[in-house]
Chain A
Amino acid sequence: MSESLDLHLASVETSLDNPVLPFLRQDRIPHIWCPGCGIGTSVNCFCRALSDSGLDLDKVAIVSGIGCTGRTAGYLNLDSFHTTHGRAIPFATGLKLSNPELNVVVYSGDGDLFAIGGNHFFHAARRNMDILVICVNNFTYGMTGGQVAPTTPVGPTQTTMPYGNFENPFNLPFIADACGATYVSRWTIYHVRQLAKAMKEALGKKGFRFIEVMSPCPTLYSRRNRLGDGVDQVKYYKEKSVIKNGVDTKEVGLGYQGEIVVGKFVDRERPTWLESMNAHYSHHFGDAFQPYGVKNGQD
């Protein structure tokens, strides 16, 4: 990570007693991420959020798919699951339903969650499965060498769009909103304080929660498209970001190097899948039904 980037990332402390360290599997560091990559910054924010949340970390589990962001699970000192490509959400669904006291977080990339895993995202949000999904969106497939992603804006070159991308990208907050997520926000890795705060807030909420984190891939996206390195991307985030809390998610689609709408877009209450199941069966079966995953007299 370059010095100038560190200046931007006010919350990243590099002193010996880095408060983030207890949240990491220190025996797995150094990590695999490139210099200037934003995933580590997002993980820093997540550690902050965990720290500030006051949650019992033995009851927080993290699930990742495959890809650069998919490696996050392996670095966090939590019960952590590195699953298959695109399937972190259904794995997390099973984990949550079999052990409802867990706070389950899915941490993965845009290709993993919205290309190969898109269908699972839609259905988990529709069901209001009680999980937090954090998507680090770097607009490309990093692990495999910079192919076009379902989030790649029209224009930039990718190895499988060698003459520039002509496919329309997804607007991720709009999808999450439309599918029924209870919490939707977007920040960039320039917005470390806001991101950590959003993560903390989302950790404390119920239902299907979604945070999009815009993050540079200097190696395969920025440099290939003559956008400079990670620092240049963070500068772009700083200059072109507009905070619009509560804005209609239809309006927050991202164009190539265009305006970035960030903020908290959705914050609402809906019964979770398990709450709905318990309520429905309690109504249907009466006393013959023992609510599932609820400790007697405690919850």
Chain B
Amino acid sequence: MKADPKGVLTGVHFMDGDHAACEGALAAGCRFVAGYPITPSTEIVERFAARIPKVGGVFIQMEDELAASIAIQGGVWGGQKVMSVTSGPGLSLMMEHLGYAAMTETPSVWVDVQRGGPSTGLPTLPAQADMMQIKWGSHGDYEIIALSPNSPQECFDLMIKAFNLSEEYRCPVFLMMDEVVGHMTERVNIPSADQIDVTERKWTKKKPGEYKAFATTPEDLVPEMVKAGDGYRIHVTGLTHDERGYPAMDVPNQAKLIPRLLNKIRNNVHKLVDVRMDGCEDADVIVMSFGITSRVATAAIDAARAKGLKVGHLRLIICWPFPVALIQQLARTAKAFVVPELNMGQMVLEVRKALADVDRKVKVISVPHPGGTVHDPETILEQILEAAR
């Protein structure tokens, strides 16, 4: 279906990434946001609070991120599309409810404008060091989807994609921004509503009595949904549950539920791969990057190519699930991977893991950075030259 025009600020704007992300959420149909102020994400909720009265919906500033991250899930079961927005310390508080959203299959969008950490760290300066936290930070096994924009335009575009994926897979979806992208201002084209595809919630057509809230088929592991107030008398719990949603805390039910929650995403990794590749087919060295670092890497790659090196650029748009098969395919011809990221080496671990199953010897060079600013392109260039040696 197409976007509701009420939420779409059609036009050409000179806008920062935080504001563009908010406009993306409104265009995607988000009508309920619960948030808590935290630098450098606050502008997103500030804009939502200013815009929502006239669009029609609710913003509420909660008492903390624990509350914000569960209030949005109440919002989903009340029937709305929802989002919460945070940064490092707030993200840590949200981990419990990330698990709840995964367990209860509550479609929800979580925005993390990454700053330097750990703890209070660098509130106003960038990092990309929460990549593993979102994947592994809540207890137990779960899967998420995470997207990484590198410009205000992508904050808008990928926010819509995040909402659509959360509805399609009924899972938490992260928009992994960073301080630079959040506070960077560029041109943002917002198309008209009839040019924006939004995914409707997977509402059931079954009647009360024949509907089971968490029943799926082997072909489709994503259950159909209803909302409170529609007469279905659903039960939703974070406990291990059966198809009716009733607590069923035993080995067979755990063995049925948990693999399904993972496989509804893992079985679709091939569909979820979203990367930008530039010159990877015949490259000796492939630079893998995401978010703001992809723009810094581009400067380094241009410089390396000017020296006559065959360097490819693999940019992750969707970071989770990680495109293992693609890495393995690229490893058939490439000699080395160079992975710059604004952390001390997180996504590079996924590259190494993917290459563990590859027979050829392929070099992997991490270009870590403790955060606070972006890499100097020279630093990345040096590692590309090292990799090519």
**A binding-site residues for B, Cβ under 8 Å:** 25, 27-28, 58-59, 61, 63, 73-74, 77-84, 86-87, 89-99, 101-102, 119-120, 122-123, 273, 277, 281, 284-285, 288-290, 292
Contacts and interface: CB of A to CB of B under 8 A. Distances in A.
Interface of A is mostly: helix
B27 interface: no
Nearest to A86: B66
B227 A78 contact: no
Contacts, number: 146
Given A98-B31, A285-B53, 18 more contacts: A58-B229, A61-B229, A74-B235, A74-B246, A74-B247, A77-B233, A80-B235, A81-B228, A83-B238, A87-B66, A90-B67, A90-B68, A94-B78, A96-B78, A98-B32, A99-B228, A119-B63, A289-B54
Interface of B: 31-32, 34, 53-54, 56-58, 60, 62-64, 66-68, 70-80, 82, 96-97, 100, 227-239, 246-247
A97 B78 contact: yes
A80 B236 contact: yes
A86 B63 CA distance: 13
Those 5 A-B pairs whose CB atoms lie nearest each other, nearest first: A94-B74, A98-B78, A99-B78, A94-B71, A95-B74
A281 B52 CA distance: 11
Contacts of A95: 74-75, 77-78, 228
Given A82-B236, A94-B72, A102 B57 contact: no
A63 B234 contact: no
B214 to A, nearest CB: 13
A120 B70 CA distance: 11
B63 A120 contact: yes
B71 A91 contact: yes
B62 A123 contact: yes
A90 B238 contact: no
Contacts of B78: 94-99, 102
B228 A285 contact: no
B277 to A, nearest CB: 40
A62 B54 CA distance: 31
Given A81-B236, A87-B67, A63 B53 contact: no
A278 to B, nearest CB: 10
